[in-house]
Structure 1
Amino acid sequence: MEAQIDAQTNTQIDQLLNHAKTIAIIGVSNKPERDSFKVAQYLKAHGYQILAINPLLQEQTILGEPCYASLSEAKQQSGMEIDIVDCFRKADDIPPIVSEAITVGAKAVWMQLEITNQDAAAQARSAGLAVVMNRCTKIEHKRLHNITN
């Protein structure tokens, strides 16, 4: 599935990435070969505070950051506002993530490449959250800043 490219979406993405400080990464892995790890590493290296969310890795750290079981736990323990919830989960797992994102006051839900859930997107938008689907935060950040490597 190819990501839909349009000026309005690009503008929204640019605004999200330019204003975000904290990105919660749902489904982040502690395995360096995994895309979620690579994206988290890239975002951290480019100045974003990352919140690692993976209930299976609850007692570990990823990239020197504590790993939380949920968005609620991350918000409570870190005390940080969550700007973007970056989802590395299958489409069927997105609705409860959106519900929790709304509860913790996140500003946006971002579904990674090949992940779309129209019902969850509608729920997020109706609660005032921005929504990005089928796009990669790392790829979009590189596009925004003309980074080629």
Structure 2
Amino acid sequence: MQYSDAYLKQILNRTKRIAVVGVSQNPVRPSYYVARYLKLKGFDVVPVNPGIAGETLFGATVVADLDQIEGPVDMVDIFRRSDAVPPIVERALEVLPDLKTIWMQIGVSHDEAAAQAEAKGIDVIQNRCPKIEYQRLFGELRMGGFATGVISSKL
């Protein structure tokens, strides 16, 4: 899937509140450190995971389901296997009236669910990470150790 930098940047600039579905409380899991990074960048992160509902992550109470979120959500970031995407997208479309974006993490895609969301006017990103895209588009990749611009064989 190809997305222009302008399109990705527009989505990230307009997004204020992100529901992270499948977030883990294990700090070495990608879902944890991506959600933590987004929170540190000023996004309001709503952690969603029925297995740890009621716990606190990133200063927010983990909810079991999207319908338990109070207030508007701009983006749903999905950290689940591709075959788990359709019910998540259906639920998001049903209970989040202010939703603007469905974002599926690296390795996650589902064309039918994407088409369903797009038919409702929702932007869909598949097989990408908002943390990586944010770092790339806003000049922060060096902080993560990538794209330093230095090629050297010196130690």
- Paired position in structure 2 for 1:116: 109
- 2:76 maps to a residue whose letter is V
Residue type at the aligned position of 2:89: V
- Check if 1:140 corresponds to 2:140: no
- Work out the CA distance in 2 between the residues paired with 1:127 and 1:101: 11
Structure 1 residues 11-22: aligned runs within 5 Å: 11-22=6-17
Q: Distance in 2 between matches of 1:24 and 1:13?
A: 18
Q: When the two structures are superposed, what TM-score results if normalisation uses the length of structure 1?
A: 0.90
The code of the aligned residue for 2:91 comes to E
- Establish whether residue 66 from structure 1 lines up as the match of residue 54 from structure 2: no
Question: Which of 82, 87, 90 lines up with 2:78 in the alignment?
Answer: 87
CA RMSD of aligned residues (A): 1.1
1:12 positional shift:
1.8
Matches within 5 A, 1:1-80: 4=1, 6=2, 8-74=3-69, 78-79=70-71
Q: CA deviation at 1:101?
A: 1.4
Relative contact order (alpha carbons < 8 A, sep ≥ 6): 1 or 2 greater? 1
How many pairs were matched up? 140
Q: Which has the higher helix share?
A: 1
Alignment partner, residue 97 of structure 1: 88
1:38 aligned counterpart, secondary structure: helix
- CA shift, 1:10, in A, is 2.4
Question: Considering only CA atoms, is the larger Rg found in Structure 1 or Structure 2?
Answer: 2
Q: Distance in 1 between matches of 2:6 and 2:85?
A: 24
Shift of 1:64: 1.9
| Ranges in structure 1 where 5+ consecutive residues have no aligned partner | none
Distance in 2 separating the partners of 1:55 and 1:17: 26
Letter in 1 for 2:131: K
Cα distance in 2 for partners of 1:98, 1:121 equals 8
- The alignment status of 1:126 with 2:122, answered yes or no, reads no
Q: TM-score, normalised by structure 2?
A: 0.87
In 2, the alpha carbon distance for the partners of 1:9 and 1:36 equals: 24
Unaligned ranges ≥5, structure 2: 144-155
Where 1:68 maps in the other structure, the secondary structure is coil
Q: CA deviation at 1:9?
A: 3.3
